[in-house]
Structures are given as structure tokens and as C-alpha cells.
Structure 1
Amino acid sequence: MNADATRPAIVWFRKDLRLADHEALTAAVEAGLPVLPLYIHDVETPGAPRPGGASRWWLHESLQALDASLSECGGALIVRAGRTRGVLAEILRETNATAIHATESYEPFGTRCEADVEKLCREHDVAFHLHRGRLLFVPDDIVTKDGRPYRVFTPFWKSCLAQPAPPPPGAAPKFNSFADARSLQLAELKLQPSKPDWAGGLRKSWTPGERAAKDALSEFIDERIGAYATQRDALPGTPTSLLSPYLHFGEISPAQVWHAVSHAIDAEGGAIEKGANAFLREIGWREFSYHLLHSFPDLPDVPLRPEFKNFPWRDDKKALTAWQRGQTGYPVVDAAMRQLWETGWMPNRARMVVASFLVKHLLLPWQAGAAWFWDTLVDADLANNSASWQWVSGCGADAAPYFRIFNPILQGQKFDPEGEYVRTWVPELAELPANDIHAPWDAPPTVLAAAGVVLGKDYPEPIVDHAAARSRALRALESTK
């Protein structure tokens, strides 16, 4: 037997925590080498992003699910913590591995890590292979005629759709053998909250892992995709796919989603085609965000439109806290922020409403909102979070014009017409009729009394007047010109 045949191939898991449609994993197995599945928890390398609380909870559950899947195949996930380069150097010395396989990243820290690991592998005479899987389309392949990155979504997506369809997703590989190495216990990463245990709402709302991701996709296609185009902005119920955290952690690949939806269109035809195409367009927005981050690595901190660098943002910690806690006095805003705190998620329409309120009604910087979402969302994703906050704030690519200021009262009336969403998350207003629930300060005193609501005591007065806030925001915009 060739001695190299006993040297393992490391599969370096990052945000690709699944077995199926995993090119890096499949390539390692097909090489005929023992596979060493490795996850490195790196918050020590300079520039390493620190996941927020909700993301850490999901990561623990997702790694646990991946380890269970590997265990069913006869292996185990090796968990280490520390600086990526140092950990991999240590693993190479311990195992005499012959190759490292990984799924390519398009985030600034991920690409820097890959360059560092490639250098390490050259020093150790080890092969380093990067594989596709995070996106449907490679960023450098989707550019304008003059070779620049797209900054407007519609032509970007048209260019994507003109490309060959993404390759069909592959099945989970059939493992030949696994290598073993020293591993931390998952609990040693201290990803889960201890005291106080604030994750009860997350556990009630979500089941992380590859199997749950597949179930969520199947349920969406079977039950809701046909109505997606018309119902996706509704605030009550579950009109959307709920796939965003699974895509973020790579428990399902975008190719799996793309082809499952495409097959459903072929099977059902016009019955679901409008909703399915609208949904795939949202997958396109995810791609667009990653392509932007790849081309503009300072996207999380710096506005793409340079005139916004001197925007007169306010510094108002009291107003920021009121927004974070769902105590602004605007029911639809408060409902969304409380849902976020309880479940780690809110619908996209709610995200736009609360983001617009923060940056335009309160004139607080979008980076403060992005930081709160980073800590509280289970699908906190650097590309999507950064691009979306810049879009709402009017300073990013294909941005909503700054003068487009959502009226939170009208948004509630349009997308929660019966007040069901507000009643769920702002129970102190539950007895108000639908006509009054989105603007309780305008409700007659007799209606408030009948509902048991004393404004300023049971529920706050609005922290800002909509008309005055709108005028202030437009004046601030003028100052940048």
C-alpha cells in the first residue's frame, strides 16, 4: 500500500455545515484517503468576526447536528479553537495530512485566511483545494461589460440568469474511512448562554441542522411558495421560507434550493411559477450582497456612496435603547423588535420598517442597527446584513432613495391590517381594535380605557413625531449635498 494512502485529507468546515452537496467533502472522499472533518473556532486571529449571541447558539446546535450525522457514517467532527493558521499547522504535524479541502469564502476575513492557509500548505508540502458551494455564481464571473462589479440589482440578476444554470446538487458521499485526532468537547467553546439562559425562545422557534434545513425547504415548496409573490410581505403568520439561517450556516446549499424550486416549477407550472420566481429573485439578492462584499470589503463599515460619510447622524443612547427593546411607541416597530429578541428573526418587511425607523425617524447611524442585528439575528450574515442596512439607509448599492421614508403607521395598516402581528408581540395593546392598534395615541379615550391601555404607563407615547422626524431627515439629507 502506498504510504500516502494512509495520510488523511482534512475537510475544513466553516459555513458549510452539511454532508450533501459539499464539493470539498466529496473531493476528499473520492481521493480515497481517510477523511478528517475539522471545525476551527477562531475568534483570535486579528480581524476575525465575533459571532453574536444568537449566532453562537445556532452554531453550537449546528455543529452538534453535523457531528451526529458524521457519527452515523462512522466518523466524528474534530473541534479545535484558536488562530486558524496555528491550529492547522498543529493538525498537520499531528496527522501528517496530505491535503486540506475547504469551501471557498467570499468574506474579507475568510479570503485572508485562505491565503494564509495556502502559504502554510506550501511550507508543509500539502495540497490545498478550494471548492465552490457558498454561492450560485462566482463573483468575478458576474461583472459589467467594462469589467466592474454591478451596483444595481436588476441588471446584476439578469446577468446571473444569462449564465448556465448552477450544477445540480450532489448527494452526501459514501465514506471509506475516517481519521481521528484530539478534539475539544463542543461545550468547551462556550457558545451557549449560561446564566441567564436567554435562548428559550430560540429553542422553541428553531431546529438547526441539515435535516431541519431540508424539511424547511420541502415545507415551503409544498405549502407556501405559490403564494410567495403576493404574501411575502405579510407580517402575521409564516409567509416566507425561513431558510435564511440554514443558508447562512451552510446547512443547505443555494444550489439545493435553486434546483428544488426549479423542479417544483417544472412539476407545477403556472400554479407556483410567479411565487417561485419571486423567491429565486430573493436568493439573487443574497448573491448580490455577497458579490458586493467581495468587491467592496469595507462594506460593513463604510457607505458605498461617499457623500454619506459626513451625514449628520445623532448620538442618542436613550433612543437606541428604546428601539432595541421595542419601546418606541410605534406598535409595528415594537412588535418586530420584540419578535427579534424572542425568536432571533423577523420577516423582511419588518426588517425594512425597523431599519428605516432607526436611520430616518431617529437619525441614528445604520452601523448601530447592523451591530444589533448582528448580535440578535440567527441568520446574522455579514454580506446580507451590511448590504441591506446600506440599502435602507440610502447609502449603498441600488439603495432606496433617502427621501423614501416608511410611515410605520401605514406600514402596519397595510401589512398587518387586523393587528394580529402587533397583538402577538405587543400584548399590552391586544384589546385595541384594528382601526386603532397601529396609532393608539389617536384612539378615543373611551377606546383606550376599554382596552385597558394608559399611554405612557402601559405602553409608551411615540418617542418622535412622524411628520417632524420626516422633515428632520430630509433636512439632514440636504446637508450632504
Structure 2
Amino acid sequence: MGTKSPPVVLHWFRKGLRLHDNPALERAVKFAKDNQAVVRPVFILDTELPKSYKIGANRYRFLVESLEDLDQSFRSLGTRLFVIRGKVQDVLENCFKTWNVKLITFENDTEPYSRARDTEFYKLAKKHGIPFEGFWSHTLYEPILLIKTNKGQTPKTYQKFIDVMTKTGQPPKSISTITSIPAHFKDPLLSSSTYDTPTLTELKVNAEELGPHLFKGGETEALQRMDRSLANKHYVENFAKPNTSPNSIKPSTTVLSPYLKFGCLSCRLFYEKLQTFKGTKTKPPVSLLGQLYWREFYYLVGAQTPNFIQMKGNSICKQIPWDDNPEYVQAWKEGRTGYPFIDAIMTQLRTEGWIHHLARHAVACFLTRGDLWQHWEKGQDVFEEYLLDADVYLNAGNWMWLSASAFFHQYYRVYSPIKFGQKTDTSGDYIRKYIPVLAKYPPEYIYEPWKAPQSVQKAAGCIVGRDYPKRIVEHETIVKINLTKMNKAYAKPTSQPSPSKSDSKASLKRTADTMDSDDDYADEVHPANTTSTKLPRNSNSNTSTSKRQMSILDAFKAKH
């Protein structure tokens, strides 16, 4: 450990847990070849991260499997993955002092925690005179390219983002998979158990919190899952997100989101694969390609908007006076609301780590403006803990959308916790699977067990209020009360400028295309004869250039 030879190029894995389309790793390999150096692929098990992010058991398992898969891939190339435990700054400083590091490469990351971490890393590397190079590969585009195309402004609507992306041109092409690692020297650390991948026991994961093992982590599984999905040409060419089922027993979508979140799958490779389908009948935003664009949109707006993951200090977020009822939030989190469809979704989320996008819509609306009137940040925290694909900016963006705090402003359109599920699962099979205490309820009562006569409840072996909770609120009443609250919140003056007419029309068209039909919502409440029912002008505008909007320019200049 104390020797200053051989020279080392350190590739720092953060996301991007793959060998395919990894320009930062490719650069490390090239440097090693040109400079007779050893490549050491490193993943830092950051002991500070859990203090900033909630990480549930299922996501820890996914991460461990992804690291194990990556380690096996490197071992097949004659090296290994070096997993090092500790605080990032301490780990890197020790490497710089003991490994004779000549270069460090990594994939750039725009999330708040990562930006703060990297600011300190840049200082440390410069202090030790270690050159470093960051590369963009977690998104289709380098964010600053899109900002420059839009004359320094951040596009605040999906349609405007599509326009900017189109003007920018095609994203960089994916690169080949790394198939060889230079072996100029026999690395003395290859056999050290100090750098082994972590176990769930080491991570103090409670085995009782692990659900069914449905989605194995890692690049190998990511590529196989992508290939299986794309093998169904009819599915790909006719995919429309609103037409997929939120409560099917098996996923009606690709479930590639966890692999994109961890970078086990390259978004650029997936993009290129989708481009090969020439007979696609659906278009963005509802097509598979459109789902990638949504990811790109939220990453860009999130990186450019200070305090994007919270309401306070967030310039694009409506300031709504949400209630603070911990009992409501806990009941929702644990699937004890008394609404079987909502409780089934939350049970699936807690046990399996994944739920359909429209199921996320239903429970998010229920927690916030629809029924419980709780802060969207509370829901964001729960999703952050339980979801395998918990992506910071996507999570925040979607919660703002569903709470009608930003991006979507037709707040009178509310998902029914009863009718929305019935649309795609009239018999209630999804509820029977995840809420087995209701398994013997007949279809006409499975979504509304409180309406079942006592004789039916007894025959089903489940008495409401004893074996299954009573409704936490009466939806048909509370939805009207909450609409009045939304009217008042929207009636307050806002400092956000209004959009252009073209942006407003595009936003409304996007709503019509993707936010489902009126039947999907089932509840659309317009109180008669009230002055507050008039919709305010959409605040999703493209504001003028400011110093804060240009922050991404400053944050990611990795100049040595």
C-alpha cells in the first residue's frame, strides 16, 4: 500500500454501473494503455449518504447485486471492482496518498448531494495535484448544451423542452463495451478482501423488510430486460403510457427505470435501440421514447432550479399551505387508508420496490390535493425510501406535478381512489393479491368494502373496522373541500411570469395527450357559482436568464 508504483488511473463509479457506453471508464482504459498504468475501478460506499437519502431494503439489495455484477464483469477482464467504505473525502485522500494516482475519471452528476460532494472533491484533487476528468453519460445530453440552445434559459414545459432538444440535434452516440483492461503490472491489491463487495448484513439491512426478489440488479439483467422488451415489436410500436395498466398482476411496462437510475443501462443505448423502430404509431410524450424525454426534462429543470426538491425557495413550485398530520401520512405509507386500491398500491411499493407510473399518480393525488391534503414532500420521502428507481429529480418533479404544485395545473381533475382502479381491474384481482384480507370480497364490494352488508363482510371473513380499517376520509366529501383550498391557493398572487400563448397551448395539449381522459380521473369537480373556479394562467414559463440559471455552467467545469 505504501509503494508509489505502479502508476494508477482511478475510475470512480458513482452511477453508471456498467461497462457499455461508459466514456469515463473508456478514458481511464486509454490513459492506462498510453501511460503504462493500472486501472483501478472504485466504488465508494459512502457512509454519509444515508444521512441525506432514505434507502430501503429492496434498493440496497438492488445496489449490492449491481456491484456484484460489475465486479464479476471486471474479474472476467483480469481485474476487479474495488469497493471502499468511508467518507468520500477521507477515502479519496487516502487513495491519493497511497496509490500513486495519475488520473481520476468519473461520470458527472447533477443531484444536490453529488454537487456538494464534488465541489469538495475538486478542491481535494487540486490540493494533491491529481488531474480529473468528468464525462456526461447519465443523460442523453450534457445539460449545458440544452441551456445554450435555449439562449441561457431553462425550458419549463415538456413541449418547450422537446423544441429545445430538437434544435440541439441528436445526442452523442453510445460507445462500445469495454472488453479489455491493460495488464502492464500485476496489481497487488487484486486478492485483498478489504475491497470486496458489501453484503446486506454489512449494510444492516433487515431481512424482514425484503420483499419478493422480482428485479435483479446489475448490467447483465438490464441488457437482458431491455432486449426482452424490444423483442416485442408490436408492444414497442404501440406503447402508450396512459393505456398501460396501473394494477396488472405483472408489470405492463418495461421496468427499466431502476436500471436507468443506477446507470446499469445506458439511456443513450436505449434511445438508439428505440430509434430503429420505424413503424412506431405513438409519439412523445406517451411513447417509450417520450418516457426517456420526460427523464431528460426533469433532470435538466431539476439541475437548473434551486431548491427543486422542496417547496420553500422553489421558484417553480406553487406555495400551498398543506396540513401536517403524521397519522394520515403513516396510514398512507403503511397501506391503512381504508381504500383498498390505494392500500394495495402502497403495499406493493413497500414490499416490491416498484409500482406502475399511473399507480404512483393515484396514491400521490390521494395523499395531497385529492384526499389527505398532506405535503408532497412527505410523499416524496416515502417514495425515496421504497422505490428501486428513486431518482431525485424525477421523484420531486412527479410529486410537484401530481400535487398540482408545478408543471400541471388542472387541479380540479382528481384521481378517484375507487373508479380509477376499477377501470382496468373490475374484479379486483390486484387488491386480492396485495390485501389478502379482502380476498373473499365479491367484485361489487372489493373497492368499497364499507358498503358491503354485514352478512357479506362476515362471509368474507373480514369486518371493516376490525379486520380492515375504516375509511380515513370520505372521498366524495373531502375532495370538494380540498378543491376549495386549491382555489384559494391558486388565487394568491404569484411572482412567476405567465407563459406565452404557444407554451400554454402546448401545455394543455400535453395534458390532453398524457394525463388520461376524464374517465381515467373519474372525479372532475367544478363547484358552481364560485369566483375561485376560474383557472389561473399557467405559471410554467420560460423566465429570463439569471445568474442562478447559469449555475450549471459553474458547477460542472472540471478544469484542472
TM-score by length of 1: 0.90
1:160 paired residue number: 165
Structure with the bigger percentage of helix: 1
C-alpha spacing 1:51/1:430, structure 2 compared with 1 (3 Å): closer
Instruction: Give yes or no for the alignment of 1:107 onto 2:111.
Output: yes
Structure 1 residues 446, 48: closer, same or farther in 2, change over 3 A?
Answer: closer
Check if 1:206 corresponds to 2:229.
Answer: no
Given candidates 129, 136, 139, the residue that maps to 2:140 is 136
Q: How does 1:25-424 map to 2 (within 5 A)?
A: 25-31=25-31, 32=33, 33-44=37-48, 49=53, 51-143=55-147, 145-173=150-178, 174-177=180-183, 179=187, 181=189, 183-187=194-198, 192-201=203-212, 204-223=213-232, 224-229=235-240, 231-236=243-248, 237-263=250-276, 265-266=277-278, 269-270=279-280, 278-302=287-311, 304=314, 308-309=318-319, 311-360=320-369, 361-396=371-406, 398-424=407-433
Cα drift, residue 40 of structure 1:
0.9
Q: Which runs of 5+ in 1 are unaligned?
A: none
1:395 partner SS:
coil
Shift, 1:122, TM fit = 2.3
Task: Compute the displacement of 1:145 (Å).
Answer: 4.2
Residues matched between the structures, number: 470
CA separation in 2, counterparts of 1:79 and 1:434? 51
1:12 aligns with 2:12: yes
Q: Give the aligned residue type for 1:392.
A: L
| Superposed CA offset, 1:224-257 (max 9, x none) | 4244216424420321110111111110110111
Distance in 1, matches of 2:305 and 2:395, equals: 14
Which is further off, 23-32 or 117-126?
Answer: 117-126
Contact 1:21–1:171 (8 Å) recurs in 2: yes
**Residues 327-372 of structure 1, C-alpha deviation per residue, up to 9 Å, x if partnerless?**
1111110110010111011100000100111112111111111111
Whether contact under 8 Å (2:367, 2:379) holds in the other structure is: yes
Distance (whole Å) between structure 2 residues aligned to residue 277 and residue 404 of structure 1: 19
Q: What CA deviation, in whole Å up to 9, does each residue of 1:204-223 have, x standing for no partner? A: 21211101001111111123
CA distance in 2, matches of 1:215, 1:68: 16
Give the equivalent residue in structure 2 for 1:460: 469
Shift in Å, 1:196:
4.7
Distance 1:419 1:167 in 2: 46
CA drift at 1:262: 1.4
After the TM superposition, which of the residue ranges 342-351 and 30-39 deviates more from structure 2?
A: 30-39
Overall identity of the aligned pairs, in %: 30
